[in-house]
Amino acid sequence: MIMRSVALAAVIAGQAGLAVAQSDLPPLLGSADLAEVLEAGDPLVLDIRGPEGEASYAAGHIEGAVSAPYPLFRGPEENPGELPSDAALTETLRSLGVTPDRPTIIVYQGVDISDFGAAARVYWTLKSSGVSELAILNGGINSWTKAGLALDVNPATPEPSEIEVTFSDEWLATADDVQAVLSGEDEATLVDARPESYYDGSEMHPAAAKPGTLPQADYFEHSNWFENGPVIIDPETARELAFKAGYTDDAQLISFCNTGHWAATNWFALSELAGINNVKLYPESMVGWSNAGYEMANVPGPLRRIWLQITNVF
User: Band of the pLDDT at 20, cuts 50, 70, 90?
Assistant: very low
Q: What is the pLDDT of residue 134?
A: 98
Q: What is the pLDDT of residue 9?
A: 41
- Predicted confidence (pLDDT) at residue 18 exceeds the cutoff of 70: no
Residue pair 231/142 in contact (Cβ under 8 Å)? The answer is: no
- Predicted confidence (pLDDT) at residue 185 exceeds the cutoff of 50: yes
Q: Which residues form the domain of 130?
A: 2-146
Structural domains counted in the chain: 2
Report, as an integer, the average pLDDT of 112-122.
97
Residue 151 falls inside a structural domain: no
Kindly list the distances between the CA atom of residue 54 and the CA atoms of 97, 110, 119, in Å, as whole numbers in the listed order: 26, 14, 19
User: Band of the pLDDT at 301, cuts 50, 70, 90?
Assistant: confident
Verify that 180 and 138 share a domain, yes or no: no
Verify that 200 and 288 share a domain, yes or no: yes
Per-residue pLDDT of 238-283, as tens digits, reads 999 999 999 999 999 999 999 999 999 999 999 999 999 999 999 9
**Residue 63 sits in a domain of what CATH number?**
3.40.250.10
Report, as an integer, the average pLDDT of 191-196.
98
Residue 153 falls inside a structural domain: no
User: Band of the pLDDT at 181, cuts 50, 70, 90?
Assistant: very high
Residues 6+ apart with CB under 8 A from 181: 187, 188, 190, 216, 254
Q: What is the pLDDT of residue 249?
A: 92
Verify that 7 and 142 share a domain, yes or no: yes
What is the DSSP code string of 92-130? HHHHHT--TTS-EEEE---SSHHHHHHHHHHHHHHHHTT
Residue 247 falls inside a structural domain: yes
Report, as an integer, the average pLDDT of 171-185.
98
Residue 95 falls inside a structural domain: yes
- Predicted confidence (pLDDT) at residue 135 exceeds the cutoff of 90: yes
Residue pair 129/69 in contact (Cβ under 8 Å)? The answer is: no
Verify that 48 and 101 share a domain, yes or no: yes
Verify that 229 and 305 share a domain, yes or no: yes
Verify that 33 and 142 share a domain, yes or no: yes
Report, as an integer, the average pLDDT of 32-53.
95
Question: In this prediction, what percent of the chain has a pLDDT beyond 70?
Answer: 89
Report, as an integer, the average pLDDT of 229-233.
90
Verify that 303 and 179 share a domain, yes or no: yes
Query: Which residue, 146, 164, 191, sits at the end of a domain?
Result: 146
Please choose, from the candidates 207, 228, 199, 247, the residue with its C-alpha nearest in 3D space to the C-alpha of residue 30: 228
Q: What is the pLDDT of residue 8?
A: 43
The chain-wide mean pLDDT, for the chain, equals 91
Q: What is the pLDDT of residue 313?
A: 58
Its pTM stands at: 0.90
Verify that 20 and 141 share a domain, yes or no: yes
